[in-house]
Amino acid sequence: MAQFPGLLSISDDEFKEFQQLIYKAAGIHLPPTKKMLVVSRLSKRVRHHELDSLQAYYCLLTDNNHPEEFQIMVDLLTTNETYFFREPDHFTYLKQQLLPNYPREQPFQAWSAACSSGEEAYTTAMILMDVLGANRAWSVLGTDISARMLHLARSGVYPLNATSHIPKECLSRYCLKGVRSQAGTFCIEKKLRERVKFQQCNLNAPNYPRLPNFDLILLRNVLIYFDLPTKRQLIHKIIAQLKSGGYLFIGHAENLSSLTTPEINAQLHNVAPTIYRKKATAE
């Protein structure tokens, strides 16, 4: 039985129940080192419902009568670390190599597949606006399993300290500093927000919402949370959503070497560190 000061206790069996619950819901593997995370993030919900234990909360989650609470649990146990221009080499590649060679007559569609609170999606949009401009057809879709994060993303409002990684030229073009009641925040400019749409999507659900095929998919710092079978299933799904010749960006701490299957090898080739391209159908 793990007991954390000031928090509820959790037994190994109870932790395994939550492990299985979040794995089934989102494909996320919680190692034993995440016991404290489970207790600290869910304790407030136990008290909110005036329950006396995490076991009682687990029973509430699994009685099929509280779908809203189940979504809250998923939101609390999923990781949402992100910031603008994270892993900037990808955006340099997008700006300097990928987009300049893209056919002018074709619309460009990008998908931030685990967008969290939207920073990655808006960063991508800044690059697309810089290179393709306002008169060409392009769009960005951001999806996430967390309803709470998507609400933040749609607002386009962030604390001022989130500007620290945004280049000055992008800051001046695409960000508006809050005044009066909005002091201490900034907002993504409307012309950019109009190009970015957000919707909820569980990447590990048997079927996602109907999505188009994309020229670029950003699946960065996502695979590290899944076990090997889940990673392979997800990569197969992602490949199916890429256009012929489309690009896949994964996180700098990730690689596909352990996931390779004949089907994956036949469709993707590595063009730069953590950057893959779907082979054109003519190849």
**Catalytic residue annotation:** 41, 144
Q: Please state, in angstroms and rounded to a whole number, the distance separating the CA atoms of residues 101 and 114.
A: 26
Main-chain phi, psi angles of 135, to 5 degrees: -95, -5
CA distances from 197 to 68, 107, 118, 148 (A): 23, 16, 10, 15
For residues 71 and 61, is the Cβ–Cβ distance under 8 A?
no
Spatial contact of 141 and 149, defined as CB atoms under 8 Å apart: no
Q: Are strands 175-177 and 185-188 parallel, antiparallel or unpaired?
A: antiparallel
Yes or no: say if 129 and 234 are a contact pair by the CB < 8 Å rule. Answer: no
Token look-up 């076990």 returns: 227
Decide: 137 and 215 in contact? Cβ < 8 Å. no
Strands (E), the chain: 2-3, 9-10, 108-112, 138-144, 157-159, 175-177, 185-188, 196-200, 214-219, 242-250, 268-272, 275-278
Torsion of CA 214, 216, 221, 226, to 10 degrees: 30
* Whether the Cβ atoms of residue 130 and residue 98 lie closer than 8 Å to each other: no
52 C-beta neighbours (distance < 10 Å), count? 10
Return the SS3 of 198. Answer: strand
